[in-house]
Amino acid sequence: MGEVVSIAAARRAGLRRQVRVLDARCQQLIADSLDAWRAAYLLGPSRERAVCLQRVRALGELLAATRRLG
């Protein structure tokens, strides 16, 4: 016999799964953006490096926060 699961429990499990997938996708987007800004910092004109460095720092903090919460 199969396990009996309430509809509410199934919905909660589905929502948790969706949140995990969304969190993972957000972390990947942040990491990709971080890589892009690092490349821009290394390869871009020197006058734009300060902006790139600010973005790298902000994205790094955001990525660390999402990993702590996840």
Read off the pLDDT of residues 5-23 as tens digits, 9 standing for 90 and up: 788 888 999 999 998 998 9
pTM of the model: 0.77
Closest CA to 33 of 13, 49, 55, 18: 55
Contact 66, 27 (CB under 8 A): yes
Predicted pLDDT at 26: 93
The arithmetic mean of pLDDT across residues 39-61, rounded, is: 95
User: Is residue 1's pLDDT more than 80?
Assistant: no
